[in-house]
A = this chain, B = another copy of it.
Amino acid sequence: MALYVQKFGGSSVADAECMQRVAQRVYDTQQAGHRVVVVLSAMGKTTDNLINLSKQVNPQPDEREMDMLLATGEQVSVAILAMALHAMGAEAVSMTGPQAGIATDSAHTKAKIMGINPERVIENLDKGRIVIVCGFQGLAPSMDVATLGRGGSDTTAVALAAALKADRCQIFTDVDGVYTADPRTVSEARKLPVIAYDEMLELASLGAKVLQSRSVEFAKKYGVELEVLTSFDRIPGTIVKEEVDDMEQIVVRGVAADKNQAKVTIQRVPDQPGVAARLFQELAAANVNVDMIVQNVSEHGITDISFTVPRDEVNRTRSTVDKLLESLGAAGATYDVDIAKISIVGVGMRSHSGVAYRMFEALSNNKINVEMISTSEIKISVVIRSAYADQAVQVLHKAFELDQANA
């Protein structure tokens, strides 16, 4: 008898029919002899509709009241699923985040989970009940409900799985797992049976929108085994877990493209201590998320600094940079939105050499020019022209034999 935490997102619980499908799946898990805790998001467009309603009375609603409002979405979901389970003859009980013992900090609309006291959940599991918990919310120290920010239901599920020492946390979504590459770009893309936390984290930050980074970090921290799978089909998904030795046999786990980046180049900056620090300090103050940073080899004390930012932060970047140019002593700045960031990820890179070389060679053989390079222990990212993004992913997928089952 295992303990499963099963999380279903908004599209999995969009209407009454979806609820019945979810109920059947949950009930089947219990009937197979397991204990089940379910975490739900709000139904379909509920959260968006509530936000729209709030904007009609106040363009900048108070965050504490926003949480009061949005927390109702999940509360509707859990009650409806409990009713659907009852109709099947199952024993089930719904709980709000506060009732499930989820305590958060005071940062309304973007709260962090501070701790979980799962006493009431365990008590009900011990009575043979399926326990259904509102995702995305908890109780702030003020005794008000606080939400974890959008997508936070994954985090609720992982945190509950950690607190309950669950055997597995299953995240049901509208994709059926994590792939070696986006199947819309690479027809040979394969679903990965297993992936390490760190690989998933790198892929999540690269725009593979399967799991929220925060929930993967949480899972890694507490050693919760995750499974990503679809609620629309009964097939195994991808398991995200602790890195084990034989995972390193595979050099590259996946290839990802991020087409929402822009490249900024500050031209001819004096190569002096403090210049870069000043630049990136001001950008951080302006809430710009800088990703890759490359400084070219200095020539006669003058250098170029290039970095990438999310495309929708280019305007904010420009207004910050333009004000700084003179005081930095720079010649000017260029803003290039026609780029893409292509990355290969794999824990095997730690023990395999020559990976970067194989990547650059594959791209070069296909006449794809590399403009920036950035590496971490388990990831290599390059910036190229956006027009070549799909081709680059295909080329790398093939070069690292990701279409092979044992790759």
Interchain CA distance A202-B54 in the complex, whole Å: 41
Interchain CA distance A135-B165 in the complex, whole Å: 39
In the bound complex, do residue A86 and residue B62 qualify as a contact, i.e. CB atoms below 8 Å apart?
Answer: yes
As for how many copies of this chain the complex holds, the number is 2
Is A260 engaged at the interface, CB distance under 8 Å to the other chain? no
Out of B65, B82, B99, which one reaches A79, CB within 8 Å? B65
In the bound complex, do residue A65 and residue B82 qualify as a contact, i.e. CB atoms below 8 Å apart?
Answer: yes
Is A19 engaged at the interface, CB distance under 8 Å to the other chain? yes
Looking at A69-77, A227-235, A268-276, A329-337, the stretch in contact with chain B turns out to be A69-77
Interchain CA distance A50-B76 in the complex, whole Å: 8
Flag A244-260 by CB within 8 Å of B: 1 or 0 each. 00000000000000000
Is A68 engaged at the interface, CB distance under 8 Å to the other chain? yes
**CB-defined contacts of A72 to chain B, threshold 8 Å:** 72, 75-76
In the bound complex, do residue B99 and residue A83 qualify as a contact, i.e. CB atoms below 8 Å apart?
Answer: no
Known: A71-B75, A72-B75. A65 touches B94 (CB 8 A): yes
Distance to closest chain B CB from A139 (angstroms): 11
**CB-defined contacts of A75 to chain B, threshold 8 Å:** 68-69, 71-72, 75
Distance to closest chain B CB from A178 (angstroms): 32
In the bound complex, do residue A86 and residue B68 qualify as a contact, i.e. CB atoms below 8 Å apart?
Answer: no
- Give the total of A residues in contact with B, Cβ under 8 Å: 36
In the bound complex, do residue B94 and residue A80 qualify as a contact, i.e. CB atoms below 8 Å apart?
Answer: no
Interchain CA distance A58-B68 in the complex, whole Å: 27
In the bound complex, do residue B76 and residue A58 qualify as a contact, i.e. CB atoms below 8 Å apart?
Answer: no
Is A324 engaged at the interface, CB distance under 8 Å to the other chain? no
Distance to closest chain B CB from A105 (angstroms): 19
In the bound complex, do residue A76 and residue B69 qualify as a contact, i.e. CB atoms below 8 Å apart?
Answer: yes
Known: A65-B94, A76-B50. A83 touches B71 (CB 8 A): no
Known: A16-B56, A56-B16. A61 touches B83 (CB 8 A): yes
Interchain CA distance A23-B57 in the complex, whole Å: 10
Known: A53-B16, A143-B99. A86 touches B58 (CB 8 A): yes
Known: A72-B76, A76-B72. A65 touches B83 (CB 8 A): yes
Distance to closest chain B CB from A55 (angstroms): 9
Residues of chain A from 52 to 111 with CB closer than 8 A to chain B in the complex: 53-54, 56-59, 61-62, 64-66, 68-69, 71-72, 75-76, 78-80, 82-84, 86-87, 93-94, 96, 99
Is A20 engaged at the interface, CB distance under 8 Å to the other chain? yes
Nearest first, the 10 A-B pairs at minimum CB distance are A16-B56, A69-B79, A72-B72, A57-B84, A58-B83, A68-B79, A58-B87, A61-B83, A65-B82, A65-B79
Q: List 27 A-B contacts (CB under 8 A).
A: A16-B53, A16-B57, A19-B57, A20-B57, A23-B57, A50-B76, A53-B76, A57-B80, A58-B84, A58-B86, A59-B87, A62-B82, A62-B83, A62-B86, A65-B79, A65-B82, A65-B83, A65-B86, A66-B79, A68-B75, A68-B78, A69-B75, A69-B79, A69-B80, A69-B83, A72-B76, A99-B143
Chain A residues proximal to chain B, CB less than 8 Å: 16, 19-20, 23, 50, 53-54, 56-59, 61-62, 64-66, 68-69, 71-72, 75-76, 78-80, 82-84, 86-87, 93-94, 96, 99, 143-144
